[in-house]
Chains A and B, each alone.
Chain A
């Protein structure tokens, strides 16, 4: 093994060098000092450069060019530059500079250029120090490309030992930080030092513009090469107090492809050796107070996850259904709720969501992210502010109890790294009263359901109004109503009887015969009226044929009632009479006893009859 890799790649570089050598020299800027540190401890190559630039010419310079070989530029995910202020230990990185792709004339075609616009032009002799951070994805190429379960994963990283710049560089150095493991080989130039997991190139002095000296580092990298081929994050705002986040991941192990058998036995017994290149879990750092966290995929819940939370963050450890070896894929969804007041704020009559852009997963490369912010129904005047350029669309989502649908802001971006986890804002206007619309709709729905039921019960829906069965039904309804009336009347009679009895009791208590007689008179009148009421009802029943089978019972009921009435009257007169005659209690008792017995029996009969009629 070693440096005899990718012939194509080498040719590319050769072409590049040829192109570079023929390039013209640009402006009068001189880079007096360039320090580069490349961090290769994760799958993302992060290049941090400190550049000190001096204006050596006559005119002032307001922008500085950065050049990156096109081979690398297509993997460039993130690029920022900051002005460094102060000296020595008090150095602070201050203002971020605007970095824009540029296309200066007369430059070699194999290079991509970016310009950094300085806040104030650099005058003659002045110098400025810049911190430039660039993150590249997919730039660690596995070599060999296919490994077995037992093999370790080796990757190659290629770059140039000399800082590739359109300006001359006075002093420069390069430090590569590798993971703490085996280094297979690396290009040795002059001034190359390997110190444990660090490799140092330089310092090199006084190099012309576009100096180029390719280096390749071949080393072991067993960290997780988790790549989300696609990530869809949906952030749904409910003004009832919740921000619901749903993230759909489509993950692949982006390292060396696995070949041959997968032996569970080997993996189980020695996971560190026979599965070194695989990763078992992912860690996501969610905002604090995340609740209702779930983790599932298309075929159901996945039970292997752990949540730890404190006041600063919620950490969730996710284990996919199986360990991922090179080239293996998996897909899953995580979801969680967040308190509304932590992310949605109000200012100047507008509400805005303040949320982080990228995935909360630790060290995850996202090839393509789609971020959907679902605003509540009725939100208007949407606008978005993002810290970097994204593709932006709008759509409508239909969800629970929506009539017009909810407005959705869709943001899309390719090649996203954890550095993109910056806050973005979505501004919108929303009337708090619109929150009540959905409950109101539910209430109306249920209300109309009941109204329909009421209408259904009361409306006659039969098709043929003249059919025999319909007429019979109508008649039967009449009969039932009449029977009901009769029962009511009988009940009234019975309660009148009660009054009579009550008057008797009063008599025994107070001895007021006159009052008792008056009560008797009143009830007499009442009962007469009631029996008058009964007459037409009974005659109606007699005339109506469907009533034939209950008629005898009803008649019996009425007859019994009348008999009861008579007996009661008799009893009443007897008692009153005996009172007037001042007879003893025992004697009165004897006189009434037989009548009383009869009354009780009659009452029972009437009760039974009422029950019987009820059951019909």
Chain B
């Protein structure tokens, strides 16, 4: 009987492969078998018909995943627009916005030659020569492009969305980079990881219109193109990387990282004996062209060949030539001993020449020494002792462990795993990513804001870890299932499966283990996704111009005091009024209030800032003299005592004292402290209680009831009752105070008539 034959046959097949597996071998009822078999066959048939398209399927999947990641990277950065509005955030972006506006209105040449007399009064600032124009030019080009295509957008919208747009582009670069150093699946994972990594989002949310927004894209692009150039040895790619470098130089001061990391990488390759003509072509082309291009940026100019930070690249460039020359000589000279002598002579002369050149250059001042910022990167304690203005910025503080955890989450654990995989498969490309990862991790530890630079490397390396692990586990599962289907073929299958076969024998519950591990990986990744979304929406999407708090009934309360004050200044003061404030608010005042400021966030002149610091920490009479000298019309202070807003001028005051005291020894920090303690209540130092800053912040504050059950004049930001409630101003008068007292503006009175 035919059915019998069938069942017997199937039985036999199962018997053959059933030896390997005991679980799937629970004999099904014989009656059901033919049907089972048929469906199995059908499956196989349909699989066959799909088989032709596997490649296209894979391509389709890859492209759609990339597209989704691209979109995701963009939309996750729009929280701030939804929560608040389409606006520019924080401090520096306001300067960038103002310059972009200038660029789009007046054109490139006006922009390039712009002398801004509205800041650093009375010195002014040569804006065209002291900024990195990449960001503004990019935004302006996008703006002009859209205008050309007849989309009547406002330049503000373009500026707000520039950073998310470039973040999306970064995911593409991350994909290609990952593909270059590992494989395309690692690239996909890298793209997905970097799309939502908080370390990157912190600087690229909509509205955060800052250099870093495009610079990370440029940085990663340059690295990718360089690695590609090293891998292919093609002039085209190295040329492309030179242009990538040019874009980076035009966008951000962080290009110094590239110009030091790449030589370091080349040096490591040379030392580890991985020198090749590919490397020679890639580095020389990239360095020479990149240097020439970078020198076109006015802010960089001849620094690129003269300053200490760029010397390493030049040194490696010459070293490359010597290396090549020696290689050539070695090829010509067949005698080994002769070559060794030659080698000794050449190396000695080269090193001698280099040392002499460096010495003479440094001594004559032709080669400028390292800047303070560079020093503070190499030695984290340097800034604290020598440059208070760098140390005073919160984003220049050393990074706490918690913020690593906050910004990287699971990547922090995946990073070492990825390094392990990289070391397991050392190639020129993986060496590069390892070096990038390790150096940037060090810098991230030195300064909070450099976490940003480390983020792409961490994402890429973690992506390698995730992708390699998942791939191994998935292959394990797939071979297993194949084995159950394909029967005895396992033994015959070639070397490819042999390692798995080995594992197979050693671990009986391997399949379950793999499933469990896979589930674990997906659990971790989904945790990462939720963490990133949470961080983005809660921590990194606040514009910091508008403050939001929860009211007593859980409703959202908005403190829009900054804009209130800036708009008041813009509308109700003479157009040529000079406003004195601490430098943090300089950019915002020039951009939003359109008034001249004494100092701003471009902290190029320490003495000028110190003068303002001195005025703020002097008695009113002395401060009045300084203000008269600076032609100050209005003084603006930020005060959080009413709302409990803690980053106000009273909390920043010690830095003013320090920076002021650094230039003017009249100001001494101990005068403002009591037993080394900084206080504003009754026990405060007398100088503190009567200095200008204290008076301006607390003027008439003593009469105000801020909190129920507390005496009048209770400072909610510091939780104390203030020490000087009877403040009289002699040379200044209150001109405006915002509704929540966050910004207070005082008018400087003209001098009294002498008669």
Interface residues of A (CB under 8 A from B): 260-265, 297-303, 321-322, 327-331, 398-403, 445, 488, 491, 494-495, 498, 508-509, 511, 585-586, 588-589, 593, 596-597, 600-601, 603-605, 608, 610, 614
Q: Which residues from chain A contact B52 at a C-beta distance below 8 Å?
A: 488, 491
A303 and B488 within 8 A (CB): no
A491 and B6 within 8 A (CB): no
A265 and B48 within 8 A (CB): no
Bound together, the chains give a CA A423 to CA B452 distance in angstroms of 59
Q: Which residues from chain B contact A588 at a C-beta distance below 8 Å?
A: 5
Q: A300-B85, A300-B87 are in contact. Are A400 and B152 (CB under 8 A)?
A: yes
B152 and A608 within 8 A (CB): no
Interface 9-mer from B125-133, B406-414, B491-499: B491-499
Bound together, the chains give a CA A303 to CA B494 distance in angstroms of 71
User: Is B741's CB within 8 Å of the partner chain A?
Assistant: yes
Q: A297-B567, A300-B85, A600-B489 are in contact. Are A495 and B739 (CB under 8 A)?
A: no
Partner of B45, one of A321, A498, A604: A498
Bound together, the chains give a CA A263 to CA B699 distance in angstroms of 10
Q: Which residues from chain A contact B570 at a C-beta distance below 8 Å?
A: 298-299
B150 and A401 within 8 A (CB): yes
Q: Which residues from chain A contact B85 at a C-beta distance below 8 Å?
A: 300-301
Bound together, the chains give a CA A331 to CA B492 distance in angstroms of 83
A508 and B2 within 8 A (CB): yes
- Expressed in whole angstroms, the minimum distance between the Cβ of A324 and any Cβ of chain B is 9
Bound together, the chains give a CA A288 to CA B738 distance in angstroms of 35
Q: Which residues from chain A contact B87 at a C-beta distance below 8 Å?
A: 300-301
Bound together, the chains give a CA A412 to CA B152 distance in angstroms of 25
Q: List 23 A-B contacts (CB under 8 A).
A: A264-B736, A264-B737, A265-B700, A265-B737, A298-B570, A300-B563, A321-B564, A322-B567, A322-B568, A329-B571, A331-B571, A398-B150, A399-B152, A445-B149, A494-B48, A509-B2, A585-B4, A597-B487, A605-B492, A608-B493, A608-B494, A608-B496, A614-B55
Q: Which residues from chain B contact A509 at a C-beta distance below 8 Å?
A: 2
Bound together, the chains give a CA A519 to CA B72 distance in angstroms of 56
Q: A321-B564, A508-B2, A604-B492 are in contact. Are A491 and B8 (CB under 8 A)?
A: no
Q: Which residues from chain B contact A264 at a C-beta distance below 8 Å?
A: 734, 736-739, 741
Q: A263-B734, A322-B568, A600-B486 are in contact. Are A299 and B592 (CB under 8 A)?
A: yes
Bound together, the chains give a CA A597 to CA B150 distance in angstroms of 69
User: Is B733's CB within 8 Å of the partner chain A?
Assistant: yes
Q: Mark B58-82, 1 if CB is under 8 A from A, else 0.
A: 0000000000000000000000000
Q: Which residues from chain B contact A327 at a C-beta distance below 8 Å?
A: 572
Interface hits, B236-257 → A, CB 8 Å: none
Q: Which residues from chain B contact A589 at a C-beta distance below 8 Å?
A: 5, 8-9, 12
Interface residues of B (CB under 8 A from A): 1-2, 4-6, 8-9, 12-13, 16, 45, 48, 51-52, 54-55, 85, 87, 149-152, 482, 486-489, 492-494, 496, 545-546, 558, 560, 563-564, 566-568, 570-572, 592, 700, 703-704, 733-739, 741
Q: Which residues from chain A contact B737 at a C-beta distance below 8 Å?
A: 262-265
Bound together, the chains give a CA A588 to CA B5 distance in angstroms of 9
B2 and A261 within 8 A (CB): no
- Expressed in whole angstroms, the minimum distance between the Cβ of B153 and any Cβ of chain A is 9
Q: Which residue of A lies closest to B44 (CB)?
A: A498
- Expressed in whole angstroms, the minimum distance between the Cβ of A312 and any Cβ of chain B is 30
B150 and A299 within 8 A (CB): no
- Expressed in whole angstroms, the minimum distance between the Cβ of B541 and any Cβ of chain A is 16
Among all A-B residue pairs, the 6 with the closest Cβ atoms? A604-B489, A264-B737, A585-B5, A329-B571, A321-B564, A508-B2
B150 and A600 within 8 A (CB): no
Q: Which residues from chain A contact B704 at a C-beta distance below 8 Å?
A: 265
Q: Which residues from chain A contact B735 at a C-beta distance below 8 Å?
A: 261-262
Bound together, the chains give a CA A593 to CA B16 distance in angstroms of 10
Bound together, the chains give a CA A488 to CA B52 distance in angstroms of 8
- Expressed in whole angstroms, the minimum distance between the Cβ of A400 and any Cβ of chain B is 5
Bound together, the chains give a CA A601 to CA B13 distance in angstroms of 12
Counting chain B CB atoms within 10 Å of each CB, the highest count among A265, A297, A509 belongs to A265
Q: Which residue of A lies closest to B156 (CB)?
A: A300
- Extra 5 A-B pairs, beta carbons < 8 Å, given A600-B486, A614-B54: A261-B733, A300-B545, A329-B572, A509-B2, A597-B488
Bound together, the chains give a CA A262 to CA B735 distance in angstroms of 5
Bound together, the chains give a CA A611 to CA B241 distance in angstroms of 35
A265 and B703 within 8 A (CB): yes
Q: Which residues from chain A contact B568 at a C-beta distance below 8 Å?
A: 321-322
Bound together, the chains give a CA A321 to CA B568 distance in angstroms of 8
Q: Which residues from chain B contact A400 at a C-beta distance below 8 Å?
A: 150-152
Q: Which residues from chain B contact A610 at a C-beta distance below 8 Å?
A: 51
Q: Which residues from chain A contact B492 at a C-beta distance below 8 Å?
A: 601, 604-605
A299 and B5 within 8 A (CB): no
Counting chain B CB atoms within 10 Å of each CB, the highest count among A264, A398, A601 belongs to A264
- Expressed in whole angstroms, the minimum distance between the Cβ of A495 and any Cβ of chain B is 7
Q: A264-B737, A265-B700 are in contact. Are A601 and B563 (CB under 8 A)?
A: no
- Expressed in whole angstroms, the minimum distance between the Cβ of B326 and any Cβ of chain A is 29
Bound together, the chains give a CA A510 to CA B329 distance in angstroms of 84
- Expressed in whole angstroms, the minimum distance between the Cβ of B448 and any Cβ of chain A is 28
- Expressed in whole angstroms, the minimum distance between the Cβ of A592 and any Cβ of chain B is 8
B493 and A604 within 8 A (CB): yes
Bound together, the chains give a CA A265 to CA B701 distance in angstroms of 8
Bound together, the chains give a CA A502 to CA B567 distance in angstroms of 84
- Expressed in whole angstroms, the minimum distance between the Cβ of B577 and any Cβ of chain A is 14
Q: Which residues from chain B contact A302 at a C-beta distance below 8 Å?
A: 560
Partner of A330, one of B482, B493, B571, B736: B571
Bound together, the chains give a CA A593 to CA B545 distance in angstroms of 80
B566 and A299 within 8 A (CB): yes
Q: Which residue of B lies closest to A498 (CB)?
A: B45
Bound together, the chains give a CA A301 to CA B313 distance in angstroms of 49
- Expressed in whole angstroms, the minimum distance between the Cβ of B152 and any Cβ of chain A is 5
A398 and B152 within 8 A (CB): yes
Q: Which residue of B lies closest to A303 (CB)?
A: B558
A605 and B489 within 8 A (CB): yes
Bound together, the chains give a CA A36 to CA B85 distance in angstroms of 53
- Expressed in whole angstroms, the minimum distance between the Cβ of A604 and any Cβ of chain B is 3
Bound together, the chains give a CA A605 to CA B735 distance in angstroms of 87
B489 and A321 within 8 A (CB): no
Q: Which residues from chain A contact B563 at a C-beta distance below 8 Å?
A: 299-300, 321
Partner of A600, one of B5, B488, B564: B488
Bound together, the chains give a CA A399 to CA B149 distance in angstroms of 11
Bound together, the chains give a CA A260 to CA B592 distance in angstroms of 25
Q: A262-B734, A303-B560, A322-B736 are in contact. Are A593 and B488 (CB under 8 A)?
A: no
Q: Which residue of B lies closest to A252 (CB)?
A: B571
Counting chain B CB atoms within 10 Å of each CB, the highest count among A261, A445, A498, A509 belongs to A261
- Expressed in whole angstroms, the minimum distance between the Cβ of B624 and any Cβ of chain A is 17
A601 and B734 within 8 A (CB): no
B151 and A597 within 8 A (CB): no
Counting chain B CB atoms within 10 Å of each CB, the highest count among A495, A498, A588, A604 belongs to A604
Q: Which residue of B lies closest to A615 (CB)?
A: B55
Bound together, the chains give a CA A614 to CA B55 distance in angstroms of 8
B572 and A508 within 8 A (CB): no
B5 and A508 within 8 A (CB): yes
- Expressed in whole angstroms, the minimum distance between the Cβ of A16 and any Cβ of chain B is 38
- Expressed in whole angstroms, the minimum distance between the Cβ of B491 and any Cβ of chain A is 9
Q: Which residues from chain A contact B16 at a C-beta distance below 8 Å?
A: 597
Bound together, the chains give a CA A585 to CA B5 distance in angstroms of 5
Q: Which residues from chain B contact A495 at a C-beta distance below 8 Å?
A: 48
Bound together, the chains give a CA A76 to CA B256 distance in angstroms of 68
Q: Which residues from chain A contact B151 at a C-beta distance below 8 Å?
A: 400-401
Partner of A585, one of B8, B152, B488, B703: B8
Bound together, the chains give a CA A600 to CA B483 distance in angstroms of 12
Bound together, the chains give a CA A614 to CA B567 distance in angstroms of 65
Q: Which residue of A lies closest to B149 (CB)?
A: A445
Q: Which residues from chain B contact A297 at a C-beta distance below 8 Å?
A: 567
A299 and B567 within 8 A (CB): yes
Q: Which residues from chain B contact A398 at a C-beta distance below 8 Å?
A: 150, 152
Q: Which residues from chain B contact A321 at a C-beta distance below 8 Å?
A: 560, 563-564, 567-568
